[in-house]
Amino acid sequence: MNNQEIQSIKQRFGIIGSSPGLNYAINVAMQVAATDLTVLITGESGSGKESFSKIIHSLSSRKHGQFIAINCGAIPEGTIDSELFGHEKGSFTGALDARKGYFETTNGGTIFLDEIGEMPIGTQARLLRVLENGEFIRVGSSKTQKTEVRVVAATNANLMDAVEKGKFREDLYYRLNTVPIYVPPLRERGTDIELLFRKFTTDFAERYRIEPLQLTEAAKRMLTSYPFPGNIRQLKNMAEQISILESERNEPIEADVLAKYLPQNQRQPSQSLSLLGGGQAGESFSERDLLYKVLFDMRRDMNDLKRLVRDVLGNGHDGRQILHNNRDLFDSIQPEADHTAEATRYLPAPVTPPRPDWDRNDFNGSDRSVPPVGNYGHHPPVQYFDDTDADINDVTVEDVAHETEDDESLSLERQEKEMIQRALRRNNNKRKYAAQALGISERTLYRKIKQYELDEE
């Protein structure tokens, strides 16, 4: 396909941009449209995957047939089979009449199955039969029916990971992935961000009868460097917001003004912080993030302290000099004042590590293995070794290292398990709301509950 044909498709479907990744995706869609091959469109949420399904349908021989888009994640598991394949009268409670499913009503057309990764396993088996043989059976019927429908699927999830976890059929994955189309996220499209912003602000200016906004060069650089975890949907909402709130400005928008509409603590999905491994991409900074930051900072400081103890044990008398050189470490492991007010109140048992109180002269000519430690605040003195029960020479560096690794793993698992238990109790064991409180998906929460055997408690 030449550039003129690609530009024609862009104008027809309102696609803005000229990045190489976008042009390649359009080119693949145009080439595969003339065939009956199954297509799997992948890309992040809000990147415009549905537009590519419409391109494929409109350029195919089925363009005069019906096109229907279905969000598999929005249909309850108990009714999705009936929605897709139909049902007979009396096949289940509430089935007062027979009903045709989407595969029957769109015979000769195209079905777009969005969020295909959310489809239940049982429905996946029915879909595989349609793709392979063009056959389906209504719910509550034993009669096989034929359909001639093209399937275009889309997902923002990694289906191969779902296959490995047993959440998605491997045979269906390869059947759907005959021709893959990857829609690049907005942050990979470079100057397309500025073009889209200009398009959105111009449209809003015409709708609300105001002057379209202009950006300074610094503001343009800030706009194109922002990751936009919500992709085109987020950019459009931001463009509308700034068009309304800054409509009285007669000069171009400066970078500092634009910064107010770009959340500065949002990160790219790969950098999103989540203790449980399922936080949503670009999630705004919250009390939960602050808590995680404090926990990780404390863990890092405690690891430094444990390494220091290992060095002391491994170097014998030389350990006194190591302690002397690292005396500032004990100050650093205390929670900072600004964190204490907001974050430590969420910890179940906040403990402020004690601060050693010694003088430099204590190391000069002393036979003691460790410096004397006094009280700091109301905390008892630190007891580094207990010579009454064991000889310090009996402890090896390998023993301490092994114990440290086990302690770190158990500590993180225990904190993770306690947070899940607390969220479930606060939400009356309703997993949907508990997952929202933790900032993770329900699927991740189910996996964690099974891992820690919480469903047996």
3-state DSSP of 74-124? HCCCCCHHHHHHCECCCCCCCCCCCECCHHHHCCCCEEEEECHHHCCHHHH
Please check whether residue 39 is in contact with residue 179, taking contact to mean a CB–CB distance below 8 angstroms: yes
pLDDT of residue 89 exceeding 70: yes
Percent of the chain with pLDDT over 70: 68
| Full set of structural domains in the chain with CATH | 3-184 (3.40.50.300), 187-259 (1.10.8.60), 287-456 (no CATH)
Q: What's the chain's length in residues?
A: 457
CB 251 within 8 A of CB 232: no
Q: What is the pLDDT of residue 450?
A: 83
* Greater pLDDT, 260 or 415: 260
How far apart CA 243 and CA 261 sit, in angstroms, is 11
At 98-138, the pLDDT tens digits run: 999 999 999 999 999 999 999 999 999 999 999 999 999 99
Q: Which residues contact 66 (CB under 8 A, 6 or more apart)?
A: 105, 106, 108, 109, 110
Alpha-carbon gap, residue 365 to 160, rounded angstroms? 64
pLDDT digits (tens, 9 = 90+) for 310-325: 666 665 555 555 555 5
| Confidence grade of residue 92 (pLDDT, cut at 50, 70, 90) | confident
Torsion of CA 340, 344, 350, 356, to 10 degrees: -30
Query: With bands split at pLDDT 50, 70 and 90, how would you rate the model's confidence at 448?
Result: confident
- pLDDT, mean of residues 327-348: 46
Number of neighbouring beta carbons within 10 Å of residue 137: 16
pLDDT confidence band for 22 (50 / 70 / 90): very high
Distance, CA of 24 to CA of 155 (rounded, Å): 19
H helices within 134-230, ranges in order? Answer: 159-164, 170-176, 192-208, 217-225
* Confidence check: pLDDT of 21 > 90: yes
Bridge-based pairing state of the strands 39-42 and 150-155:
parallel
Tens of pLDDT, residue by residue over 140-183, are 999 999 999 999 999 999 999 999 999 999 999 999 999 999 99
**Half-sphere CA count of 86, side-chain side, radius 13 A:** 23
Which CB contacts under 8 angstroms, 24+ apart, belong to 324-332?
324/360, 324/363, 324/371, 327/356, 327/358, 329/301, 329/304, 329/305, 330/305, 330/354, 330/355, 330/356, 331/355, 332/301, 332/304
Interval 301-312: pLDDT, tens: 777 777 766 666
Residue predicted with more confidence, 329 or 68? 68
59 phi-psi bin (left φ>0, alpha ψ -120 to 50, beta other): alpha
Please give the C-alpha separations between residue 407 and each of 306, 412, 448, 454, in angstroms, as whole numbers.
11, 9, 20, 21
> Hey, is 36 helix, strand or coil?
coil
Is the model's pLDDT at 24 over the cut of 70?
A: yes
What residues form DSSP beta bridges with 99?
Answer: 87
